[in-house]
Each structure stands twice: as structure tokens, then as C-alpha cells.
Structure 1
Amino acid sequence: MREAATTPEPTPVVAVRAHSVLGVRLAGFAAAVAVLVLVVLVSLAVGVKSIPLGTVLDAVLHGRGGGDRDVIVDLRLPRTLLGVAAGAALAAAGVLMQALTRNPLADPGILGVNAGAAFAVVVSIWIWRFADFTAYVWFAFAGAGIASILVYLLGSRGRSGATPVRLALAGTAVSAVLGALISFITLLEPKVFDQFRFWGVGSLTGADRGVVWQVLPFLAAGSLLALGLSGALNALALGDETARGLGSRIGRTRVLGAVAVTLLCGAATAAVGPIAFVGLTVPHIARAVTGPDHRWVTPYSLVLGPILLLGGDIVGRLVARPAEVQAGIVTAFVGAPVFIALVRRRRVREL
């Protein structure tokens, strides 16, 4: 008599391997958080005047520190918090853009989103004489959204569709045109140039508490959207037809993803200027640890992004003391080699 067929149970090897992968991911995330805490403390301690870490902890936790307390709490703490928020926002935007377009070269800077936000801000300063974040952040949102749509339309024309290289080329072209228009306006109006020159290269210099509190709601909303879309992004990575077969609403995912990217890029660019390569570099670093699962890539990127941006800001303070090199310049030196390496890879057509 034939025995009834039974469903094989998972082997112990598979269970152990899954447990091991989870352990590596959790350990890596804990290590990344620890590094971020250390970078935050170093950011509070380093500047024209170096302050011991013990004094920094006393000032932050207990409100003590003498004259150094004012430097830490009033000057360096807002700058550091803004670096954390903007770095997380740009990294999360990079994850979303790479997942939504299945393009490993996608980045708010490379695809022209930052340039669109920067151009809109410059126009608002030039025509309406706006002078603070509250006034021109809405222009940054509009510019980021319009630029992203324009780049996608240009990159998707033709029979081959929106390939990674075509989107990168379209983004480069749009960024070049908008950059030329920004230069024209700033050269035409010296007052606009004075307000734009440091902001335009991407900088955390001069951040105050008001900007930090104003930017947080937008960045928090965009980050929560990015985290909420993580599961849908995994389905989308399998292709539109497969995602539909799994019950994923790909139209809804793309719309919400575009809203999140606009919130993240618009607010971050309005606050600190158009900083490139953070959104390109960080998701790839996260995937090297977590694999392609966006439920892990997104939270990892939210931690690694601030490490990169704040680390660049710290290096900029140290290499030219008592002057500073803007954070956007340092991150470009880090991100440009990564971009070149990605372009040279054979399998660059999709994630």
C-alpha cells in the first residue's frame, strides 16, 4: 500500500541560515546607530574651538558647560540636528528613487530633483525677495516635483524606455540647464548671489533652531511614507506584472513614492542646499549589508545617511581650519567615485 505524500518541513540548515542573516542585520543596524551617536558627539565637539566630549555630554544632558554650553547648544546642536534630518531624508529619497525606477544610478542630485528645487528657490529669492526657509520651501517642493517629472518624461522617450543610463543622461541635461539658469540669475542680481552662494553648494553652516523645527514635519512625513512603502517596493522590484499578481497596487505605490521624494528632497534642499550623492551612495552601502529587502534597506539608509552627511561636515571643518569646506563639496568627493564605479559595472540596467 502506497504511503501518503507529506509536505517536507524546513530543514534545520535553512532555519539556521535565516536566523544568521537576521542576526547579521540586527547587529549591523545596532553598529550603525552606535556610529551615528559617535558622529553626533564629534560634530558637537569639533569646530574652530575643540570642546572635550565630557563637556559636550554635560551641556546636552544637564545644561552645564560654562561658556562652551552656549556654543554647543545654540550653534552646533541645531547644525548637527539639521545634518541628521537632511542626511536621513536624502538617503531615503535615494532608496525610493532607485526602487521606483529600478535604476541603481537614481539619486536626487543625478536625476535633477535637487537642481529643480534649487532653481525654484532662486526664482523665489529673485522675484519675491523671500529670505527664509518658511517662505521658499513651497517653491522647493514645486521645483523638485516638476524636475522629477520632466526627467522621467525625457528619459522614457524612445523604444528602449526609461533605462538607468537614459534617466541619468536626462537628469544630467536638466541639471545643466537649470544650473545655467541659476548662474544667469545670480550673476544678474548680486543680492541673490550673496544669499545663494553658500547655500548653493550644500551647507549646514548657519543652521538655527527655527529651520530645524520647520523642516522636521516635512522630513518626518516623507520618512514615514518611505518606511510604509518598503513592502510594496519589494514587490515592485519583481516587475510590474509580478507585483500586480501579488496584489500590489503599483499605481498607488508610485504616487505615494513620488509624494515622499518631493517632501524629502524639497524640504532638505530648501534647508541645506542641493547636496548630491548622499542618495546615490547610501542605499548601495545598505544593500551590501542587508541584501535587496527594502524593509531593511530603508531603515539602514535612514541611519547611514546622517553618518555620511555629518561626517562630510566634520571633515570640512577640519581640513581648512579656521575656515570651512562646505559639506556638499566633501560628499561630492565621496560620491563621485561610487557613481563612476556603478556606471562601469556590467549589470547596471536594473536593481
Structure 2
Amino acid sequence: MFTVYLSVPLIAPPVSVVPVINGQQILMNISVYVSTICKGEYPNSIIVNILNTDSTLINCTSIPTQVNDQLMIVGSTSVTNLNTFTVDVSLSNNGGIFNSMSSFGFSFLGPVTNINSSIDNCSTINIAWTAPTVDDRVPIQHYILRIFDAITGSLVDTVSVYDTTYQFVNNNLFIHRYTYVITGVNELGEGISNTDTFSYQKVPRAIQNSSLDVLYYTQDVVIIQLYFPIILKCIGEAPEYVTVTVICNKTDSSTTYLIGNMNDITGLISVPQYQQCNISIVFSNEAGDSKPFILAFDTYLLSPNITNVTDTTTTTTTATQLLFSTTTLASTTLNVSTG
């Protein structure tokens, strides 16, 4: 007894193509669901064509047409080292070729773009990116976000993200810079990764207040004690260096100090007598320099006259030119303790 396949079905049976990744090889599992058609309409020829992006034929395979107990015809073919390709499944019997057969497109994901990061409330890190362009037939399933410590290179965390944004909390942003490696995943596996590194340091706040107190006079100089506090809103704006610049009408000096900790800073200033002076204090870190805090004073014998200067365009410009000097330029000397 045998079956004669004479009739092409009005509606072609459903077909599925499921890729399975095995190293460089992609196995394409193909299923034809013949439960929706009559036995005399079953296909007796199934041809699988694999095409590249310009429709060039890469592979052509015929799979057996035996129907299993679940009323399915199953078979497979494979493809190697293709990032983007199309699978065409052609069904036919003695009555002709089945109509309205779909193509199945597959593509490894390209890289995400426009990686961006910001912080909220001094400790919540926001990461966002733009999804790669995809074939609608092969949607993105999720992203793999790998977070590395950019200083040590160590892996901090790996998470699966089902959107194009992610948040996590870090309470020590001053120490850490993070590198983010973001990879899209679809049914073909991981796509092309993209990477970006962010530092969350902010430009330090300017000094809010400071004080100068005369300790004593010598024959030629006045010894003045300097004090200024470090006030932080976020640890990410902590200064790493403080530059103290003294500019007088006959002498000037500028010295930069590494800040050992975030305590208040005190120091001694040795300034020649009978001078009109400005002292400029600037905090700095990798993100940049704070606005200078400037005090005007004189060193006449009775007592220094000290004024908090708010409009010091000329003096500020002069002091900025001296910020990066770490040696004393004249007889004025600085001795600052930074903890």
C-alpha cells in the first residue's frame, strides 16, 4: 500500500527553524507540522536553502520527509561562520510546489551604541544605551552587562538586562571608575560587544570660608596661620590636591599639596612685612579645578588687614597662571598640613 501525493494544499503547513549554536557551527533544526493538511497533501520533497546577505546560495540540503508520531517532519542542516543569513524552506509534492512559504532570517547582533552613565543622589549609578538595529524576525532577547573596576581591571558584576537601562548603587564613587561591557543576545547567541569607561568624580566645590591669623612677627616677615575646611556633598567631588597661591606686590609663590584625607586643612604662611597680598586656594581632582577662594591681606606691623575678596578678576587671572608651580618663586613661603 502506498500514498500518492497529488494535491498541493491550499494553505501550506507551518514550518519552524530553530538554530542551535555549537562553537563556530550553527545547527538549524527544521520542523514541518503536517497535522494541518490531508495525508495526500503531505510534501514528498523538502529543500533547505541557506543564502547570505546578497542572496548568494551558501548551502542546499534535502531533508527526509518521514512523518513521526507527532505528525511532524523533522530534519536539520548546518551553517558555519556566517553572521547574517536567510533560511528558505521549500516544500513540494507530485502536485507541485507549496505556495506562501516564509523565509527565516538570522543575524548576530551588532554593538549597542551611545553608552551613557550618570549618578543620582551621590551613589546611584544610571547606565543607558541605544539598542542595535535588528531584523524583526530575530529580536533581542536580553543584554549581558559586565561591570569592571577600571582601576584594577577586576570583574565586579555580570547581570542580564531586559531593557536598555540599568541602575546600581555604589557608595564609594571617589575610588572607583567603571568600565561597562554591553552585549546583545538573541537566539544565535551573544552579539558584538561595546565598551565604555566612566569616572564619577565631580569638580570639587570651592572653599566656603577660610581664616588667616597672625602668629608672630620677625624682623622681616610675618608668620600667618591658614585654616580652611573641606565640605563635601558627595564623595565623588572630593578633592585630591589643594593649590595655595600667595601673590604680593613684591613677591609671590604657589605650591600644590596632595590631600592625605578629608580633614580640615591648616598651614603656615611666611610673608615679608609691608606687603599688599592676595591668597588663592583651589581644590582639584581628575574632573577639574574648583573656583578659587581668594583673601586679600596686608602685612604692615600693627596687624594684617584681611578681607574676603569677591570680585578679583585680575588677581584670579594672575593666580591661575601660578597654579601648577610647585616651587617657591620668591621669599614668601608656605607650609600646609593636609592630614
- Specify if TM > 0.5: no
Higher alpha-carbon Rg: 2
Structure number with higher helix proportion? 1
Q: TM-score range by the shorter chain?
A: under 0.3
TM-score (norm 1): 0.17
TM-score (norm 2): 0.17
Structure with more relative contact order (C-alpha pairs < 8 Å, separation 6 or more): 1
